[in-house]
Amino acid sequence: MDILKSILVWLIGITFIIVFFPVTFLVWLIALPFDRKRVIVHGLLIFQSCLISHIVPIWRLKTEGREKAEKGTTYVIISNHQSILDILLINCLRYRFRWISKIENTKVPFLGWYLKMAGYITVDRGNKESKDKMIDEALECLKKEISIMLFPEGTRSPDRQIGFFKRGAFQLAILAEKPILPVIIDGSGGVLPKHGLIFGGFHNITIRVLDPVPPGKFGTNDWDALAMRFQEMMTEELRKLREANRRK
């Protein structure tokens, strides 16, 4: 049964690529001279993400707290990371932001091309020069009132628990003096195993937006200490979310 479901999901995905990739490329080409912030392409990717997320029959997606992000406010948005599908699913929050992605994703067909067309920021995690460049590019975006979105764990969790938070997101928030908007995602980890092609079972996926934390409430200017604080807070919030879902 999982194999049949997987075939259906992959067919849906391939159909979307065949239909929407040429459209996205054409829109990018036309908008490039005047859409320097890539708002149009990002909006088109949000539309595609929301559409496919509601068509795919092997999960049900629920979003909570979307209204907590104030319109017109620039954030450093952070989320835990369970699955490669998280990129698709978090787009369903319909926020305007610039993703920060590991450079390996640019080598994935279509995903890499989408990243480049949308002007998302990439980083080679093993290269200090690349990390410094990422920080500079992200700070420039924040200065232009474009929110930044990234996974502070830097990679998918192998056990669906929240792993160690790296300092990058918190360095950005402190240097740019921007609020942090924490997001919790749960349920996506079992949909598609890492390096796997077979989708398993049916999954209830929840994305919960937590209260934004302004710079005045960081309580520290130490990047690592702030990372640890958010790691602990989001771990507790993930526990609460799972407990609430179990009671339903």
Quote the CA–CA distance of 26 and 21 in Å, as a whole number. 9
Query: Region 8-12: what's the mean pLDDT?
Result: 92
Q: Is the pLDDT of residue 216 over 80?
A: yes
pTM for the whole structure? 0.94
Q: List for the chain the helix, strand, coil content (%; round to 5).
A: 50, 15, 35
Question: Which CATH number is 131's domain given?
Answer: 3.40.1130
Is the C-alpha dihedral spanning 227, 230, 235, 241 positive or negative?
negative
Inter-residue long-range contacts of 229-235, CB under 8 Å, 24+ positions, other chains counted: 230/78, 230/152, 230/165, 230/170, 230/180, 230/182, 231/152, 231/162, 231/164, 231/165, 233/182, 234/78, 234/80, 234/162, 234/182, 234/184, 234/210, 235/161, 235/162
Q: Which domain holds residue 233?
A: 2-247
188-203 pLDDT, tens per residue? 998 987 777 888 889 9
Confidence of residue 116 (pLDDT cuts 50, 70, 90): very high
Confidence of residue 247 (pLDDT cuts 50, 70, 90): confident
Confidence of residue 183 (pLDDT cuts 50, 70, 90): very high
Number of domains in the chain: 1
pLDDT at 158: 87
Of 37-41, 187-191, 237-241, give the range with the top mean pLDDT.
Answer: 237-241
pLDDT at 48: 96
pLDDT at 231: 98
pLDDT at 196: 79
162-182 pLDDT, tens per residue? 999 999 999 999 999 999 999
pLDDT at 146: 96
- Angle at Cα 145 formed by Cα 143 and Cα 146, nearest 5°? 105
Query: Region 77-99: what's the mean pLDDT?
Result: 95
